């Protein structure tokens, strides 16, 4: 996709407008804070009606529309091994926004999203948004209207209680809709999503809205497809890719893009416009990347290689 950036200066702020064939995306250089809105009630008040005290959704889908096999973790980790830099080892996975957000060429009766895996030490929050692809509407961080879907995207034993295959439903989506995701880095604090996160800690599948200053650094997500299982997978990098000092504990990015891994089920699958997405089945390792070969190897490498997880383990040990 070819972008034609235009930079305007209004009231001392730089306004960036990016024209694509389907949407205009704009952002500002302001440092406003992120005020979370929760799904499904769209309230800024964290409601224990919808989430429990661990930040886990209460409205999990009882009968998911897609079957999620645990082997999907191994398949994904072949592409996104822990601690290995995607831009160095598999740069083709970092695409333009057209291939980072999920485009629907037909209507969906339901879109469901599942917790698959976290390769992270942070307690991240994950939200979603949707926008029209057939109308040239300016997109910005406010108009996207992020809604927090997983206040605490942390697994059981690693700071949360999410489990593989916990699905939530976004409901029906119209034809010509795109679905994107938002990560609030280390957003779960003191029993809710931290309303004091700044733009430097919010990352989206709409790269122009991300805080880094170059188009390469602004990419935070990888979209993969498992057409046999009829599932899409999103991997997200949870650290500011340009500045360590913008991250909690001044952690520097490892660019492994596996810190949050989501599965997305669109019913029907034929409504997904993802014919040229990278497929993960069969799981072929990317050239130059030696991924783990088993689930055991994945978990072992996580413990060994994640400095944030190690830091967090130290803090937990010190507090007990
Ligand atoms: Ca990771
Ligand atoms: Ca990472």
Mean pLDDT, residues 145-164? 96
Length of the chain, in residues:
320
User: Looking at residue 156, what is its pLDDT?
Assistant: 92
**CA gap 56, 95 in Å, rounded:** 31
Lowest mean pLDDT among 48-62, 156-170, 275-289: 275-289
pLDDT tens digits for 180-192? 999 999 999 999 9
Nearest ligand, CA 305: 1
For 65-100, how does the pLDDT look when each residue is reduced to its tens digit (9 = 90+)? 999 999 999 999 999 999 999 999 999 999 999 999
CA of 211 to the centre of ligand 1 (A): 20
pLDDT at site 32: 65
User: 107 CA to middle of ligand 2, Å?
Assistant: 34
**Phi, psi (degrees; rounded to nearest 5) at 175:** -55, 150
Task: Say how many Å lie between the CA of residue 37 and the centre of ligand 1.
Answer: 26
DSSP SS3 for 212:
coil
Residues with CB under 5 A from ligand 2 (ion): 237, 254, 256, 259
256 CA from centroid of ligand 1 (Å) = 5
CB atoms within 10 A of CB 278: 17
pLDDT exceeds cutoff 90 at 34: no
Distance 299 CA to ligand 2 centre (A): 15
Q: How far is CA 205 from the centre of its chain?
A: 7
Torsion of CA 278, 86, 151, 122, to 10 degrees: 160
Q: Where are the alpha helices (DSSP H) in the chain?
A: 71-79, 86-89, 141-144, 295-305, 307-318
**pLDDT over 80 (residue 105):** yes
Mark 41-68 as b/e (b = at least 16 C-beta within 10 Å).
eeeeebeeebbeebbbbeebbeebbbeb
What distance lies between CA 289 and its chain's CA centroid? 22
The pLDDT score that the predictor gives to residue 20 is: 35
Q: How many CA atoms lie within 13 A of 186 on its CB side?
A: 18
Ligand nearest to the CA of 81: 1
Ligand nearest to the CA of 239: 2
Give the three-class secondary structure for 209: helix
Tell me the whole-structure pTM to 2 decimals: 0.83
Q: How far is the CA of 197 from the centre of ligand 1 (A)?
A: 20
Residue 220 alpha carbon to ligand 2 centre in Å: 10
How far apart (Å, rounded) are the C-alpha atoms in residues 90 and 105? 28
Distance from the alpha carbon of residue 256 to the mean position of ligand 2, in angstroms: 5
53 three-class SS: coil
Nearest ligand to residue 121 Cα? 1
Q: How confident is the model at residue 285 (pLDDT cuts 50, 70, 90)?
A: low
Å from CA of 258 to ligand 1 middle:
5
Q: Distance, CA 80 to ligand 2 centroid (Å)? A: 10
């Amino acid at each position: 996709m070819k972008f034609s950036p235009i930079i305007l200066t209004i009231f001392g702020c730089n306004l960036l407008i990016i024209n694509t064939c389907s949407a205009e995306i704009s952002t500002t250089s302001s440092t406003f804070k992120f005020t979370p809105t929760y799904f499904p009630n769209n309230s800024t008040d964290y409601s224990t009606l919808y989430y429990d005290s661990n930040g886990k959704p209460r409205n999990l889908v009882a009968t998911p529309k897609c079957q999620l096999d645990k082997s999907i973790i191994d398949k994904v980790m072949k592409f996104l091994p822990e601690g290995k830099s995607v831009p160095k080892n598999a740069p083709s996975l970092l695409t333009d926004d057209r291939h980072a957000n999920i485009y629907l060429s037909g209507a969906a009766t339901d879109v469901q999203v599942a917790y698959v895996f976290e390769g992270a030490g942070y307690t991240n929050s994950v939200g979603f948004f949707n926008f029209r692809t057939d109308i040239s509407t300016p997109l910005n961080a406010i108009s996207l209207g992020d809604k927090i879907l997983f206040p605490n995207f942390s697994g059981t034993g690693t700071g949360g209680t999410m489990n593989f295959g916990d699905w939530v439903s976004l409901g029906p989506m119209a034809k010509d809709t795109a679905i994107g995701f938002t990560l609030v880095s280390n957003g779960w604090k003191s029993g809710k999503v931290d309303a004091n996160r700044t733009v430097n800690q919010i990352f989206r599948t709409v790269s122009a809205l991300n805080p880094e200053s170059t188009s390469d650094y602004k990419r935070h997500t990888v979209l993969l497809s498992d057409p046999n299982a009829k599932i899409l997978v999103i991997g997200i990098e949870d650290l500011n890719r340009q500045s360590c000092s913008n991250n909690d504990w001044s952690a520097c990015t490892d660019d492994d893009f596996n810190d949050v891994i989501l599965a997305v089920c669109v019913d029907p699958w034929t409504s997904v416009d993802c014919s040229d997405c990278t497929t993960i089945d069969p799981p072929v390792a990317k050239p130059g990347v030696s991924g783990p070969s088993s689930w055991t190897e994945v978990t072992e490498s996580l413990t060994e290689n994640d400095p944030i997880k190690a830091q967090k383990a130290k803090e937990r040990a010190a507090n007990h």
